[in-house]
């Protein structure tokens, strides 16, 4: 009798362990959850207390310590709050379910099928920032960002407007100053609006140009400093595996 009881308890323990493992986050798995609150445009907290960072997107900062609120950051944060607060969502994982801060890394889907990550990019609330090995939706995000840029949506429209306003202000302020100072100011190359520090160990910049060509730039190369990173890579092999090529000499 004791032997049967022991065997029964052992079987129950195995079953419970299997169920627990199946429900937990795992590579290429998924889970449903309820959003408790939105932290920032690309980050939110679940009812369970776990935080989720949306894969492949990067909204302007609003809550980063010792960092100013970036242009269009509040708009992006408010948009995500309206979209997700209190909603039930499905989280789908890529190769790495967690980041180094132990936040869940996920593609987020609403009950009506809306792919939230893509929507943020396509509507101009986020730039793409796909970091290997989580690259399953990289091409979709690149297409969405290209459409947002071409349509001057969201932060892309804001960037264009700010550049135009800055140019006019600069002309007014330059009035009466030396011509040389004006010329130097106009000759100064414009820097990318995305000046984020590269992720640890990933210094190679991936960029898609106006022709749709995917090109990567290594530190020290001619166009590295002027290039806006849409994806970051640790090695040239990673960049090539994601469909990017080296610049033509």
Q: Note if 61 is an active site residue.
A: yes
242 touches 206 (CB < 8 A) = yes
DSSP 12: H
Active-site residue, selected from the candidate residues 3, 23, 37, 61: 61
Burial class (CB within 10 angstroms; exposed 0-12, middle 13-18, buried 19+) of 221: middle
Active-site residue, selected from the candidate residues 75, 103, 122, 238: 103
Burial class (CB within 10 angstroms; exposed 0-12, middle 13-18, buried 19+) of 7: exposed
Residue 78 in tokens: 């408010």
H helix runs in the chain, sequence order:
2-23, 73-84, 116-122, 138-150, 155-174, 179-187, 236-241
Radius of gyration of the chain (CA): 23
User: CB within 8 A of 53, min separation 6: which ones?
Assistant: 42, 43, 99, 101, 103, 104, 105, 106
Active-site residue, selected from the candidate residues 3, 37, 45, 53: 53
Q: Tell me the sheet residues that pair with 54.
A: 106
CA distance 230 to 210: 13
CA distance 212 to 92: 28
Residue 34 in tokens: 């309820």
Q: Could you give the residue numbers annotated as active site?
A: 53, 61, 103
């Amino acid at each position: 009798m004791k032997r049967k009881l022991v065997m029964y308890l052992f079987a129950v323990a195995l079953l419970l362990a299997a169920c627990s493992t199946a429900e937990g986050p795992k590579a290429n798995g998924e889970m449903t959850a309820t959003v408790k609150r939105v932290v920032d445009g690309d980050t939110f907290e679940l009812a369970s207390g776990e935080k989720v960072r949306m894969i492949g997107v990067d909204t302007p900062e609003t809550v980063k310590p010792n960092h100013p609120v970036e242009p269009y950051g509040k708009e992006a944060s408010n948009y995500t709050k309206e979209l997700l607060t209190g909603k039930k969502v499905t989280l789908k994982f890529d190769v790495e379910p967690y980041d180094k801060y132990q936040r869940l890394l996920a593609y987020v889907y609403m009950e009506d099928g809306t792919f939230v990550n893509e929507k943020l990019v396509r509507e101009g609330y986020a730039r793409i920032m796909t970091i290997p090995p989580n690259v399953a939706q990289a091409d979709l995000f690149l297409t969405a960002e290209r459409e947002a840029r071409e349509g001057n949506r969201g932060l892309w429209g804001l960037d264009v407007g700010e550049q135009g306003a800055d140019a006019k202000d600069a002309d007014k302020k330059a009035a009466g100053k030396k011509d040389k100072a004006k010329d130097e100011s106009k000759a100064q190359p414009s820097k990318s609006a995305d000046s984020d520090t590269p992720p640890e160990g990933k210094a190679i910049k991936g960029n898609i140009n106006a022709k749709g060509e995917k090109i990567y730039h290594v530190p020290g190369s001619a166009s590295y400093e002027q290039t806006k990173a849409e994806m970051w890579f640790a090695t040239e092999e990673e960049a090539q595996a994601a469909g990017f090529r080296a610049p033509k000499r």
